[in-house]
Chain A
Amino acid sequence: MRLPNWLHKLASPPHFYRIAARIEPWMLGAGLAAIAVGTFGGLLLAPPDYQQGDAYRIIYFHVPAAYLAMQLYALMAIGSAIGLVWRMKLAYAIAAAAAPVGLAFTGLALATGMLWGKPMWGAYWSWGDARLTSVLVMFFLYLGYMLLHASLEERSTADRAAGILAVVGVVNLPIIKFSVEWWSSLHQGPTISRLAAPAITWDMLWPLLVMIVGAVLFSLAVMLTRARAEVLLRERGARWVRDVVAVGA
């Protein structure tokens, strides 16, 4: 199977590096602005929930973190799969750049979930709950990917071994997504769904949507910065890297 031409062009490390360096500051600025607006809206403008009171405001931090944790895992697995199939170095670099960002957001989703769970369920954690446990499994998959990648001497072997782990771990994503429907769970159902109307009013929904957009832009900016570092390390013998480093771009 052959890759499309535009993907081939984007996969060229110097081309990717230049594009990433150009769009990253805009993504970071837009992401931080959206997060500031979303936080203001979520904490000050949105009305309290009729059942959960002000405790529900944790949603503005928990849901974007949980959403990104899953999306970044999917990105890491897709990058690894492309690397394994087409031996594309850039795909491995993107997978390696996504892992620490995904790990941080998974940790944040778990921590904010626990802080939300205590006042609502009366407990920080429940081992019997499939959603909580499957997200914890994803946290360890991220950690496993990073440790495996760091522990192998040859970078190409590390990319392949960690990539296989990432691809195998994809089986956990539908388990996380559908766990609240397949099994009885303390965790509430989805707040926003593609197929159904949102479970909250517009006053509560817009700050959440703004926070999700902000978090996505922010994480892409951070990931692009990390991917640029990965690309430089992998291409350090190339002339274009010496030129880039010489001018500090």
Chain B
Amino acid sequence: MSEFLAMGGYGAFVWPCVGLSFAILAGLMLTARRRLHGVHRQIRHRNVAPEEGAWELRVSRARESRA
């Protein structure tokens, strides 16, 4: 097991790549779902403030308020 984790001495380079890849995949999936649900919510309740952190939703809302 420790031999596998060591990756022939390159573990410090291989494992961060694996971790980063899965973190980005998870982040992409979660932000896409969150955005779709946020848009649903935004359309359903036009006066409810978009969720904190949903940057794109805040942009679209700002666009709406300026229009």
Partners in one complex: yes
Give the residues from 8 to 39 in chain B that come closer than 8 angstroms, CB to CB, to chain A: 8-10, 13-14, 16-18, 20-21, 24-25, 27-29, 31-33, 35-36, 38-39
| Count, chain A residues at interface, CB 8 A | 47
Query: In the complex, how many angstroms separate the beta carbon of A97 from the nearest chain B beta carbon?
Result: 9
Interface contact B21-A245, CB-CB below 8 Å: no
Q: Of A58, A104, A218, A232, which is within 8 A of B27 by CB?
A: A104
Most buried by A among B8, B17, B42, B43: B17
Interface contact B35-A55, CB-CB below 8 Å: no
Q: Of A44, A111, A219, A223, which is within 8 A of B20 by CB?
A: A111
With A155-B63, A241-B43, A245-B40 known as contacts, the answer to whether A112 contacts B21 (CB < 8 A) is yes
Interface contact A229-B35, CB-CB below 8 Å: yes
With A54-B10, A104-B28 known as contacts, the answer to whether A43 contacts B60 (CB < 8 A) is no
Interchain CA distance A225-B40 in the complex, whole Å: 12
CB-nearest residue of chain B relative to A65?
A: B21
The stretch among A81-89, A113-121, A176-184, A196-204 that forms the contact with chain B is A113-121
CB-nearest residue of chain A relative to B10?
A: A55
Interface contact A107-B17, CB-CB below 8 Å: no
| Count, chain B residues at interface, CB 8 A | 34
Interface contact A229-B39, CB-CB below 8 Å: yes
Tell me which residues across on chain A come within 8 A of B31, comparing CB atoms. Answer: 100
Tell me which residues across on chain A come within 8 A of B21, comparing CB atoms. Answer: 61, 65, 108, 112
Interface contact B59-A115, CB-CB below 8 Å: no
Interchain CA distance A133-B63 in the complex, whole Å: 34
- Is B56 in contact with chain A by the CB < 8 A criterion? yes
Interface contact A54-B44, CB-CB below 8 Å: no
Interface contact A108-B24, CB-CB below 8 Å: yes
With A53-B10, A119-B10, A153-B67 known as contacts, the answer to whether A236 contacts B24 (CB < 8 A) is no
Interchain CA distance A225-B33 in the complex, whole Å: 7
- Is A123 in contact with chain B by the CB < 8 A criterion? no
Q: 10 nearest interchain CB pairs? A: A54-B8, A55-B10, A225-B32, A54-B7, A53-B8, A61-B21, A229-B36, A229-B39, A150-B59, A112-B17
| Cross-chain pairs A/B with CB under 8 angstroms, 16 sampled | A35-B25, A48-B8, A54-B9, A54-B10, A54-B14, A55-B13, A112-B17, A115-B13, A153-B63, A222-B29, A229-B35, A232-B43, A233-B42, A236-B43, A242-B43, A245-B43
